[in-house]
Amino acid sequence: MSSTKAVLRLAEQIDPDGRLNDRAAIKLIESIDEFTHIATSSGCEQVMAFATSAVRDATNSDQVLADVANKTGVEVTVLSGRDEARLTSLAVRRWHGWSAGRILALDIGGGSLEMSNGVDEEPDVALSLPLGAGRTTRDWLPGDPPDRRRIGVLRDWLDAELRPAAKELLAPGKPDIAVGTSKTFRSLARLTGAAPSSAGPRVKRQLTASGLRQLIAFISRMTRDDRAELEGVSADRAGQLVAGALVAEAAMRSLGVDTLEICPWALREGVILRRLDKQPTNG
């Protein structure tokens, strides 16, 4: 097994009119073309290409995806927000197992926040809100470091946005375990004392509400370049770290969650698991 990544930050590259800008579209095409060649040369028999919030919400998404298909030969599937939440929930369930009981899962991407609650592989509730770390940075925190007054206003706004979603999410029942997944939560957990990635995926990692509050007080005073020097924070994601932390804090507060378990599996694994489930079995 091998893994190759390219950070595109598409959610931060939406023009005021809602279009994905030309530079981002070109980079998307180049990345898909490069990764398709890597997959082919590695002997992959199937290529699955999927897009999430930033492409889904762009006003020129149809044209961008048509260009991708014409120039790379790859048809990109655009996932709905609900499907993002459902597939992430599947990955979390498979990782933690049936004994975990009712799982509340949170995933902060660049463009959206996915949330789910359920006791099965198909969650009882799956929601997606336009509260991703990249989008929130672009819309609310353009300063470097972020303006403290805007942080306060953003906190209040996030609470108002999350209140009805939290009520809907918790309606089926109180979770036995709350889980955070994907890069934002992993970075926040690392910065509050969780084990580094080098310790392996099986090491238990957590993010607490108190640790997160202390972290926000610290990183919100730093410039992007200074945040990039922190262990576990890449230069590509340093700019959206504060917004991601504020979204995480608001989500945990609205749901009454004091501690999140960090799951190494997320949307990508959910997509793969769903595809494997649909594969015919021999015999």
pTM of the model: 0.92
pLDDT of residue 1: 66
Can you spell out the DSSP letters for the chain?
---------GGG-B-TTSPBPHHHHHHHHHHHHHHHHHHHHTT-S----EE-HHHHH-TTHHHHHHHHHHHH--PPEEPPHHHHHHHHHHHHHHHH-GGG-SEEEEEE-SS-EEEEEESSSS-SEEEEES--HHHHHHHH--SSSPPHHHHHHHHHHHHHHHHHHHHHHHTT---SEEEEESHHHHHHHHHTTPPPGGG-TTS--EEEHHHHHHHHHHHTTS-HHHHHTSTT--TTTGGGHHHHHHHHHHHHHHHT-SEEEEES--HHHHHHHHHHHHSPPP-
Q: Is the pLDDT of residue 156 over 80?
A: yes
pLDDT of residue 9: 81
CA distances 233 to 36, 42, 143, 174, 201, Å, are: 27, 29, 19, 33, 18
pLDDT of residue 227: 97
Q: Which amino acid is at 261?
A: E
The overall average pLDDT reported for the chain is 93
pLDDT of residue 129: 97
Domains of the chain, CATH where assigned: 10-78 (3.30.420.40), 81-269 (3.30.420.150)
Instruction: Tell me the per-residue pLDDT of 214-263, one tens digit each, with 9 for 90 and over.
Output: 999 999 999 999 999 998 898 888 999 999 999 999 999 999 999 999 99
Q: Which amino acid is at 108?
A: I
Instruction: Tell me the per-residue pLDDT of 159-209, one tens digit each, with 9 for 90 and over.
Output: 999 999 999 999 999 999 999 999 999 999 999 999 999 999 999 999 999
Question: Quick one: CA torsion of 208, 211, 212, 214, rounded to 10 degrees?
Answer: 160
Q: Which amino acid is at 93?
A: R
